[in-house]
Amino acid sequence: MSDTVRPATTERARREDIGDRKRALAQLFDRSAPTYERVGVEHFADLGRRLVAYAELTGGQRVLDVGCGTGAVLVPAARAVGERGEAIGVDISAGMVARAREELTRHGLHHARALVGDAETVALEDAPVGPGSFDAVLAGISLFFFPRPRTAVARYHRLLKPGGRIAVSWWGRPDPRWDRVFAASAPYGRGPSSHALPDDSPFRSIETFHAVLSTAGFTDVETTEEDCVTRFANREQWWSWVWSTAGRQFWETVPEESRAAAEAAVNAELAGLESPDGGLYSTSKVRFTLARRER
């Protein structure tokens, strides 16, 4: 848990560790940014639209999108609140924010901004993010990356206006058919898959995440679980996609001399998953959680 009292040296070491993890994540997503959602696989854009639909935004609202990435949530959110509203995206990766800004410009969404910053603390110089200043806080496939999600959620509760809503998308179980693909790669590299969570993560079950939201003061907490079907045209596209996401973290640890063997082991498993047209399908569970700050 994040908010217990600790000796000063332990607390300092913990803060340094959290700082290191955040820097590593920012660099990881900086490396993904050039190809993220650009390899011909529609994945995050679809999830982003679904999250915004759940949030039921209306014209004129003020919205904060935490971990905005390249704008999968921010762009439809900015459209939903319209020019009388405002949408602010925050992301720790400068590379992702540069891409989000391009998207906002391309779509003419001048009432939306993307800012580089730590969305866990939301200490932004360029945007007024005072208490009670947002109608909605959105977090699309991002909150479980934050080292202190409990602290973040408590902060978002304070940032919301009375009656304001938080909407979070996050992963349920990955497609079990793909377990053998990840098992085949495991001996060659280090570290977790992008679906792995720390033992104390609130995202280990719907109940634990709901408890965190309730503790932070949210009411009307509900989660809907849906399928997330992703189609890859062929193996090559799947490989490009992995390197365009946080999934590259594992592959970066595979030593150069083992890369060919690791790829061959994975390709052998992918061959068994191919449909007759050569395509690959993954059906994971995605969760959409909504909660409200009391009026």
Tokens of 39: 């390899």
- Binding-site residue total for ligand SAM (CB under 6 A)? 25
Residue 96 binding ligand SAM, by CB under 6 A: yes
Residue 73 binding ligand SAM, by CB under 6 A: yes
Across 8-28, b (16+ Cβ under 10 Å) vs e yields eeeeeeeeeeeeeebeebbeb
Instruction: Compute the distance between CA of residue 25 and CA of residue 246 in angstroms, rounded to an integer.
Output: 9
- CB under 6 A: which stretch of 101-109, 114-122, 225-233, 266-274 binds ligand SAM? 114-122
Q: Which of residues 207-236 bind ligand SAM (CB under 6 A)?
A: none
Query: Count of CB atoms within 10 A of residue 293's CB?
Result: 23
Query: Count of CB atoms within 10 A of residue 194's CB?
Result: 18
Instruction: Compute the distance between CA of residue 105 and CA of residue 107 in angstroms, rounded to an integer.
Output: 5
Using CB atoms, what's the residue nearest to ligand SAM?
A: 69
Contact pattern from residue 7 through residue 36 relative to ligand SAM, giving x for each residue in contact according to CB under 6 A and a dash for the rest: ---------------x--x---x-------
Report in angstroms how near the CB of residue 143 gets to ligand SAM at its nearest: 8
Pairing between strand 280-293 and 218-232?
antiparallel
Q: Which of residues 133-192 bind ligand SAM (CB under 6 A)?
A: 140-142, 145-146
- Binding site residues, ligand SAM, CB under 6 A: 22, 25, 29, 44, 47-48, 67-69, 72-73, 90-93, 96, 118-120, 140-142, 145-146, 246
